[in-house]
Structure 1
Amino acid sequence: MPTRAQVPWRLRGTPFRGSVAIRGGLITRARLTGSAWQRLFRDVYLSADTVLDHRMWCRAAALLLPPGAAIARTSAAYLHFADVLPLGQPPVDVAVPRSVSLRPRPALRVERVNLPASDIEQLAGMPVTTVLRTAFDLARTPDLVSGVVAVDALLNTGHLSLPTLIRYAEERRHWPGGAQARRALRLAVPGAESPMETRLRLILVLAGLPEPLTQYPVPMANARLDLAYPELRLGIEYDGDHHRDRRQFQRDVARLNRLRLLGWTVLRFTADDVFRNPDRVATQVRAALRPHVLGN
């Protein structure tokens, strides 16, 4: 690990163009090849003692963007505080106008699109597609579930309303993927607090089951349910890995007991259920609903 003394303070903690730093007398070309630095792109560097997360990758990519281009899609959603990044270290998504040239490279995925200036804003000094354009772009993805997950996550940031997004998409109905976006928006709902919650909800809805309410409060049990059919007192929960913690498990048991005493049935599902056994999830919820709303 390099000592901080080896790193000029003006180059600490953020990516920079090596050629600019050299011209400015901040560092020599010889020193830039040393172990104090990590090279992210050609001519783009970061001090080796700086944590390299996706935000840093976005800052590095922004240094390469020509005028009129922007961080886009999943990377833009991440910068808008929506949890939609896949596991691992994904490439930075950028959008460039059709008249601009920027070649893809490792860790940089480039899409040439219609990108008016009104669809770009500055976030922490980076050009980023607006939350509205970001949601529309992600809703157009061929994977319907991923599109709805992204839209739900962006709605949950509180900086986007579904009616506004629907109007925006309708005005661009003839853009590539416009029909797919409209389908995704018909399935999106405000209130989902995690991508897995959205995936669980979509298993039910796409199986033809009634739309559950999201984040339904049960004040008398001091509880809130991920998904609920309140008229039937049926709750549906996604249990992530944090529920394996001993103290969390004890809180879950006490909460579940309070709900049961109030007449609630709660079905709990895991990532394995959602990704590997969605049909079983739908079958179990259908069985719980059938005596009340689905008939024989």
Structure 2
Amino acid sequence: MPRAPHVPRELAFLPFSADRAITAGLLTRRMLRSSCWRRLLPDVYVHEDGYRPDDHRMWCDAVALTLPPGAALAGPSAAYLWGVDLLPRQSPVFVVLPEAARPRHRDRIVVAHHRLAPDDVTRFAGLPVTTGVRTAFDLGRSAFAGSVRRTDGVATDWDADRSEGRTRALVAVDALLNRRVVRLSDLAAYLAAHPRRPGTAQLRELLPLAEPLSESPMETRLRLVLYDAGLPSPTAQHEVYDARGRFLARVDLAYPRLRIALEYEGDHHRERAHFRRDVARLNALRAAGWLVLRFTADDVLRSPGRVVRQVAQALSERRSPRR
């Protein structure tokens, strides 16, 4: 029975540079040919126990080993490291390189060339990553939609639909604000200090629409649909109490004076226990005089006009004097 190859503790789980490991005496080229090692990128390997093909953090660790000085993980990848997942499965890693750097063509890497000041970059678990405010600044102005190119020349999901860049930008900013990665005042100050960067006009438009209380991308999308249609901006995460001051519910969006609630219904609402709670909650809101409009992802993404008409009708009816 063949003996299992020796695995140095330092190389047991995280990606590593083969050249550096060999120089340090942890491996030999012959040992590296064992099937227990997975090649991720040129000169970058990981042990099979640490190989998770859909784990974006693993790919960030791998790509960081290849970055030159002055580069950083950025955009959606930086947001992911800060706790905001905006990425589809098997997403490439997004990086910013110094303007003079020219990367080799590699799978799973999307490159943008932007100027990064020293205080735009910090360390996250040993990885160079754009700061929270710089990450929000880049995503809010769609810096990774207009000027990026994947190093293998293949378009990415992030920049495939340019017409949706503004919506995705607001989704990203809301999510970063909600997770307290950045404060709205700090983002506004950073924008004021960098007014002429590409895409700042978009970010300047979106800042007044940004909502730190938004708890999901679909809530942000629903708010933006209503704004673009010229409807009043609803209040996010509004708490409803009955006449005795008892808490009834917190609704996604609301027009409190008119007692209109707008709810986004995700797939989790279909679970039996959640469904029963929803029914009881909906009955309590109705008993308190609230009109509740419920929308799905299909409504918001594929039938925004119908959403606007329903909300506009509800506003009109509630504003009309009762006879």
TM over 0.5: yes
Secondary structure of 2:253's counterpart equals: strand
2:128 pairs with 1:127: yes
Q: 1:188 corresponds to which residue?
A: 210
Post-superposition offset of 1:7: 3.3
Shift of 1:126: 0.5
Are 1:65 and 2:67 matched, yes or no?
yes
How do 1:9-48 residues align onto structure 2 when only pairs under 5 Å count?
9-48=9-48
Out of 153, 159, 171, which is 2:193 matched to? 171
TM-score of the superposed pair, with normalisation by structure 1: 0.93
| Percent identical residues | 51
Please point out which of 152, 158, 181 is paired with 2:180: 158
1:246 maps to amino acid:
R
Q: Do the aligned partners of 1:6 and 1:36 also contact (CA within 8 Å) in 2?
A: no
Query: Does the residue aligned with 1:215 lie in a helix, a strand or coil?
Result: strand
Is the CA contact (8 Å cut-off) linking 1:170 and 1:182 kept in structure 2? no
Distance 1:257 1:221, change over 3 A: farther
How far does residue 160 in structure 1 lie from its aligned partner after superposition?
Answer: 1.6
Residue matched to 1:199: 221
Deviations 1:169-203 (A, max 9, x none): 12211111111221122321211111111111111
Amino acid at match of 2:216: S
2:139 equivalent in structure 1: 138
How is 1:215-294 mapped onto 2 (pairs within 5 angstroms)?
A: 215-219=237-241, 220-293=246-319
Given the superposition, is the C-alpha separation of residues 233 and 252 from structure 1 closer, same or farther in structure 2, using an over 3 Å criterion? same
Shift in alpha-carbon separation, 1:294–1:204, aligned structure 2, 3 A: farther
Contact 2:96 2:113 (8 Å CA) reproduced:
yes
For residues 90-146 of structure 1, the C-alpha deviation after alignment (integer angstroms, 9 at most, x for no partner) is 110000121333334210111111111110011111010011011010111161101
Q: Distance between the aligned counterparts of 1:260 and 1:191, measured in 2?
A: 24
- Deviation of the 1:4 alpha carbon: 8.8
Output the amino acid matched with 2:131: T
Which residue does 2:171 correspond to in 1? 149
Aligned to 2:57: 55
User: Does the 8 Å contact 1:84/1:195 carry over to 2?
Assistant: no
Quick check: 2:258–2:319 contact (8 Å CA) kept in 1? no
AA aligned to 2:254 is A
Return the offset for 1:244. 1.2
Aligned counterparts of 1:192 and 1:199: Cα–Cα separation in 2: 10
**CA separation in 1, counterparts of 2:105 and 2:34?**
26
Is the Cα–Cα contact under 8 Å of residues 93 and 108 in structure 1 kept in the other structure?
yes
Task: Give distance in 2, aligned partners of 1:254 and 1:273.
Answer: 24
Do structure 1's residue 89 and structure 2's residue 115 form an aligned pair? no
Q: Could you say which residue in structure 1 is the equivalent of 2:155?
A: none
Structure 1 position 83, deviation (Å): 2.9
Q: Is the 8 A contact 2:74 2:96 kept in 1?
A: yes
Aligned residues: 292
Give the letter for the 2:14 counterpart: T
Corresponding residue SS for 1:114: coil
1:209-250 deviation per Cα after TM superposition (whole angstroms, max 9, x unaligned): 111111111243432111111111111111111111111111
CA distance in structure 2 between the partners assigned to 1:133 and 1:113 by the alignment: 11
CA distance in 2, matches of 1:5, 1:261: 69
Cα distance between partner residues in 2 of 1:256 and 1:130:
41
Contact kept, 8 Å, 1:221 with 1:258, in 2: the verdict is no
Unaligned runs of 5+ in 1: none
**Deviations for 1:49-76, whole angstroms, at most 9, x for unmatched residues?**
2234111111111111111110000000
* 2-structure distance, mates of 1:205, 1:12: 51
Structure 2: runs of 5 or more not aligned: 143-161
SS at match of 1:115: coil
* Residue aligning to 2:109: 108
Whether contact under 8 Å (1:104, 1:110) holds in the other structure is no
Cα 1:4–1:47 change in 2 (3 A) is: farther
Question: CA–CA distance in 2 between the matches of 1:13 and 1:166?
Answer: 40
**Aligned Cα root-mean-square deviation (Å):** 1.9
Distance 1:116 1:9 in 2: 36
Q: Which shows bigger deviation, 18-27 or 124-133? A: 18-27
